[in-house]
A and B are shown apart, each in its own frame.
Chain A
Amino acid sequence: MARQPLKDQLGRPIRDLRISVTDRCNFRCSYCMPKEVFGDDYAFLPKQELLSFEEIHRLTKVFVSMGVKKIRLTGGEPLMRRGLPELVKKIFSVEGVEDVGLTTNGLFLKQQGPALYEAGLRRLNISLDALDAELFGKLNGRGVSPAPILENIDFAKELGFEIKVNMVVQKGVNEQEILPMAAYFKNKGITLRFIEFMDVGNDNGWSFKKVVTKKEILSLLQSEYILEPVEEDYYGEVAKRYRYSGSDEQVGFITSVSESFCSSCTRARLSSDGKFYTCLFAVKGYDIRELIRSGMDDEELLEAISGVWKGRSDRYSDERTEQTAKSRKKIGMSYIGG
Chain B
Amino acid sequence: MRNTVGILLAGGLSSRFGSPKAFARVDGVYFYEKVYKALDAVCDQVIIVTREELMPLFAKELDLVTDLPDIKGQGPLAGICTAMKLRQAAMYMVLPCDMPYIGPEETNAFRQLAAGTKHVTGVQTPDEKIPLFSLWKGSFAEDLERAINNGNLSVFDFLASLETRWIDASVIHQDQGKFRNINRNTL
Contacts and interface: CB of A to CB of B under 8 A. Distances in A.
Interface string B154-187: 0000000000010110110111000000000000
A144 B113 contact: yes
Interface size class for chain B? 10 to 19
Interface string B88-122: 00000000000000000100110011011000000
Nearest to B166: A143
B168 A145 contact: no
Contacts of B173: 108, 111
Contacts of B174: 24, 26, 77, 79-82, 108
Contacts of B126: 40-41
Interface string B37-49: 0000000000000
A82 B165 CA distance: 28
B112 A133 contact: no
Contact of B112 (A79, A81, A82, A151): A151
A299 B113 CA distance: 49
Given A26-B174, A80-B174, A148 B105 contact: no
Which residue, of A41, A107, A110, A133, has the highest number of chain B Cβ atoms within 10 A? A107
Given A40-B126, A41-B126, A111-B105, A147 B171 contact: no
B164 to A, nearest CB: 12
Interface string A58-85: 0000000000000000000101111000
A148 B112 contact: yes
Nearest to A148: B112
Contacts of A108: 173-174
Interface residues of A, number: 22
B171 A26 contact: yes
B65 to A, nearest CB: 33
B170 A143 contact: no
Contacts of A143: 165, 167
B105 A145 contact: no
Contacts of A110: 105, 108-109
A272 to B, nearest CB: 14
Contacts of B175: 82
B116 A144 contact: no
Contacts of A188: none
A108 B167 CA distance: 15
A148 B170 contact: no
26 contacts: A26-B168, A26-B170, A26-B174, A40-B126, A82-B175, A108-B173, A108-B174, A110-B105, A110-B109, A111-B105, A111-B109, A111-B173, A133-B116, A142-B167, A142-B168, A142-B170, A143-B167, A144-B113, A145-B115, A145-B116, A147-B112, A147-B115, A147-B116, A148-B109, A148-B112, A151-B112
Interface of B: 105, 108-109, 112-113, 115-116, 126, 165, 167-168, 170-171, 173-175
Given A107-B171, A111-B109, 6 more contacts: A24-B174, A26-B174, A79-B174, A81-B174, A110-B109, A142-B168
